Amino acid sequence: MPDHPLIPGAIEVLASTPAVMRAMLAPLPASLIEQPGKGGWSARDVVAHLASRQSIAIAGRINAVLAQPGATMPGVPESLMDVAQYRSQPFAELLSEFEEGRAEAVALLRNVTPDQLDRRGLHHGVGELTIAEVIHHLAFHDLVHVSQAAQLALSPLEPLRGAMRVFR
Protein backbone atom coordinates (compact mmCIF):
# COMPACT_ATOMS: atom_id res chain seq x y z
CA MET A 1 0.00 0.00 0.00
CA PRO A 2 1.58 3.32 -1.07
CA ASP A 3 2.06 6.11 1.43
CA HIS A 4 0.02 9.29 0.89
CA PRO A 5 1.18 11.56 3.72
CA LEU A 6 -0.68 14.66 2.56
CA ILE A 7 -4.12 13.09 2.30
CA PRO A 8 -5.27 13.83 5.90
CA GLY A 9 -4.05 17.42 5.61
CA ALA A 10 -5.55 17.83 2.16
CA ILE A 11 -8.93 16.62 3.40
CA GLU A 12 -8.71 19.02 6.35
CA VAL A 13 -8.03 21.89 3.93
CA LEU A 14 -11.19 20.91 2.06
CA ALA A 15 -13.14 20.62 5.31
CA SER A 16 -12.02 24.03 6.57
CA THR A 17 -12.41 26.12 3.41
CA PRO A 18 -16.08 27.05 3.96
CA ALA A 19 -15.37 28.22 7.54
CA VAL A 20 -12.32 30.17 6.36
CA MET A 21 -14.40 31.90 3.68
CA ARG A 22 -17.19 32.67 6.17
CA ALA A 23 -14.79 34.07 8.78
CA MET A 24 -12.93 36.15 6.20
CA LEU A 25 -15.85 37.46 4.13
CA ALA A 26 -19.12 37.40 6.11
CA PRO A 27 -18.24 40.43 8.31
CA LEU A 28 -17.49 42.58 5.27
CA PRO A 29 -20.05 44.85 3.60
CA ALA A 30 -21.80 43.44 0.55
CA SER A 31 -20.32 46.17 -1.63
CA LEU A 32 -16.84 44.87 -0.87
CA ILE A 33 -17.51 41.15 -1.39
CA GLU A 34 -19.45 41.88 -4.58
CA GLN A 35 -16.84 44.19 -6.13
CA PRO A 36 -15.22 42.46 -9.11
CA GLY A 37 -11.45 42.38 -9.32
CA LYS A 38 -9.25 42.62 -12.38
CA GLY A 39 -10.25 39.13 -13.54
CA GLY A 40 -13.97 39.99 -13.39
CA TRP A 41 -14.78 37.87 -10.35
CA SER A 42 -15.72 39.12 -6.90
CA ALA A 43 -15.06 37.33 -3.60
CA ARG A 44 -18.72 36.24 -3.73
CA ASP A 45 -18.08 34.73 -7.18
CA VAL A 46 -15.18 32.74 -5.77
CA VAL A 47 -17.43 31.22 -3.10
CA ALA A 48 -20.12 30.53 -5.72
CA HIS A 49 -17.54 28.81 -7.91
CA LEU A 50 -16.47 26.49 -5.10
CA ALA A 51 -20.03 25.81 -3.91
CA SER A 52 -21.47 25.10 -7.35
CA ARG A 53 -18.86 22.60 -8.43
CA GLN A 54 -18.26 20.49 -5.35
CA SER A 55 -20.98 17.90 -5.95
CA ILE A 56 -19.39 17.03 -9.29
CA ALA A 57 -15.72 17.91 -8.79
CA ILE A 58 -15.48 16.11 -5.46
CA ALA A 59 -18.28 13.60 -4.89
CA GLY A 60 -19.05 12.89 -8.55
CA ARG A 61 -15.47 12.16 -9.54
CA ILE A 62 -14.54 10.18 -6.43
CA ASN A 63 -17.77 8.13 -6.49
CA ALA A 64 -17.30 7.31 -10.19
CA VAL A 65 -13.85 5.85 -9.58
CA LEU A 66 -14.86 4.08 -6.36
CA ALA A 67 -17.75 2.42 -8.18
CA GLN A 68 -15.68 1.44 -11.19
CA PRO A 69 -11.91 1.83 -11.30
CA GLY A 70 -10.92 3.27 -14.66
CA ALA A 71 -14.24 5.10 -15.06
CA THR A 72 -14.44 8.44 -16.78
CA MET A 73 -14.77 11.17 -14.18
CA PRO A 74 -17.72 13.48 -14.80
CA GLY A 75 -16.97 16.90 -16.21
CA VAL A 76 -18.46 20.10 -14.88
CA PRO A 77 -21.50 21.11 -16.95
CA GLU A 78 -21.32 24.42 -18.77
CA SER A 79 -24.28 25.65 -16.68
CA LEU A 80 -22.09 25.56 -13.56
CA MET A 81 -19.27 27.49 -15.22
CA ASP A 82 -21.18 30.77 -14.96
CA VAL A 83 -20.99 32.11 -11.41
CA ALA A 84 -23.25 35.05 -12.33
CA GLN A 85 -26.31 32.90 -11.67
CA TYR A 86 -25.47 32.95 -7.95
CA ARG A 87 -25.19 36.73 -7.63
CA SER A 88 -28.82 37.21 -6.60
CA GLN A 89 -28.60 34.62 -3.81
CA PRO A 90 -28.06 36.15 -0.35
CA PHE A 91 -24.40 35.71 0.60
CA ALA A 92 -25.18 34.09 3.96
CA GLU A 93 -27.33 31.53 2.13
CA LEU A 94 -24.55 30.86 -0.39
CA LEU A 95 -22.06 30.30 2.45
CA SER A 96 -24.47 27.91 4.18
CA GLU A 97 -25.01 25.99 0.94
CA PHE A 98 -21.23 25.77 0.52
CA GLU A 99 -20.78 24.51 4.10
CA GLU A 100 -23.50 21.86 3.80
CA GLY A 101 -22.35 20.53 0.46
CA ARG A 102 -18.73 20.50 1.51
CA ALA A 103 -19.52 18.61 4.73
CA GLU A 104 -21.13 15.86 2.64
CA ALA A 105 -18.18 15.74 0.25
CA VAL A 106 -15.64 15.62 3.08
CA ALA A 107 -17.55 12.78 4.75
CA LEU A 108 -17.15 10.82 1.52
CA LEU A 109 -13.41 11.57 1.35
CA ARG A 110 -12.86 10.52 4.96
CA ASN A 111 -14.30 7.11 4.11
CA VAL A 112 -11.91 6.46 1.23
CA THR A 113 -9.54 3.71 2.33
CA PRO A 114 -5.78 3.83 1.79
CA ASP A 115 -6.07 1.08 -0.84
CA GLN A 116 -8.69 3.05 -2.75
CA LEU A 117 -6.44 6.12 -3.02
CA ASP A 118 -4.54 4.51 -5.89
CA ARG A 119 -7.63 3.74 -7.94
CA ARG A 120 -7.47 5.49 -11.26
CA GLY A 121 -10.07 7.23 -13.31
CA LEU A 122 -10.02 9.15 -16.55
CA HIS A 123 -10.33 12.95 -16.44
CA HIS A 124 -11.50 14.36 -19.79
CA GLY A 125 -8.98 17.21 -19.69
CA VAL A 126 -5.81 15.64 -18.32
CA GLY A 127 -6.09 11.89 -18.67
CA GLU A 128 -5.56 9.31 -15.97
CA LEU A 129 -5.60 10.37 -12.30
CA THR A 130 -5.63 8.53 -9.00
CA ILE A 131 -8.11 9.38 -6.27
CA ALA A 132 -5.14 10.65 -4.21
CA GLU A 133 -4.18 13.04 -7.03
CA VAL A 134 -7.74 14.33 -7.26
CA ILE A 135 -7.85 14.98 -3.50
CA HIS A 136 -4.51 16.79 -3.59
CA HIS A 137 -5.63 18.87 -6.56
CA LEU A 138 -8.88 19.80 -4.82
CA ALA A 139 -7.00 21.03 -1.74
CA PHE A 140 -4.62 23.01 -3.97
CA HIS A 141 -7.61 24.45 -5.86
CA ASP A 142 -9.30 25.51 -2.61
CA LEU A 143 -6.16 27.26 -1.38
CA VAL A 144 -5.78 29.09 -4.69
CA HIS A 145 -9.33 30.40 -4.31
CA VAL A 146 -8.95 31.27 -0.61
CA SER A 147 -5.96 33.38 -1.63
CA GLN A 148 -7.94 34.89 -4.50
CA ALA A 149 -10.84 35.82 -2.20
CA ALA A 150 -8.43 37.36 0.31
CA GLN A 151 -6.81 39.44 -2.45
CA LEU A 152 -10.21 40.61 -3.65
CA ALA A 153 -11.25 41.54 -0.10
CA LEU A 154 -8.07 43.44 0.70
CA SER A 155 -7.79 45.37 -2.56
CA PRO A 156 -10.45 48.01 -1.73
CA LEU A 157 -8.88 48.48 1.72
CA GLU A 158 -5.48 49.42 0.30
CA PRO A 159 -6.18 53.11 -0.40
CA LEU A 160 -7.91 53.51 2.98
CA ARG A 161 -4.81 52.68 5.03
CA GLY A 162 -3.34 56.19 4.98
CA ALA A 163 0.34 56.45 5.79
CA MET A 164 0.36 52.76 6.78
CA ARG A 165 0.40 51.95 3.05
CA VAL A 166 4.20 51.94 3.26
CA PHE A 167 3.85 48.56 5.04
CA ARG A 168 2.74 45.39 3.40
Q: Tens digit of pLDDT for each residue in 53-87?
A: 888 888 899 999 999 999 999 887 666 566 777 88
From CA 124, how far away is CA 20, in angstroms rounded? 31
Single-letter amino acid code for the residue at 81: M
List, for residues 1-47, the tens digit of each pLDDT value: 455 667 789 999 999 999 999 999 999 999 999 999 988 889 999 99
From CA 152, how far away is CA 83, in angstroms rounded? 16
Residue 99: predicted pLDDT = 97
Single-letter amino acid code for the residue at 141: H
Domains in the chain, please, with CATH? 7-155 (1.20.120.450)
Residue 79: predicted pLDDT = 60
More confident residue, 20 or 154: 20
Under a CB-based contact definition with an 8 Å cutoff, are residues 73 and 65 in contact? yes
Q: How far is CA 10 from CA 49, 121, 134, in A?
A: 19, 19, 10
Shortest CA distance to 51 belongs to which of 145, 165, 148, 158?
Answer: 145
From CA 168, how far away is CA 153, in angstroms rounded? 15
Residue ranges of E strands in 51-155: 120-123, 127-130
Under a CB-based contact definition with an 8 Å cutoff, are residues 126 and 38 in contact? no
List, for residues 101-111, the tens digit of each pLDDT value: 999 999 999 99
Residue ranges of E strands in the chain: 120-123, 127-130
Residue 1: predicted pLDDT = 42
Mean pLDDT for the chain overall: 90
Residue 125: predicted pLDDT = 85
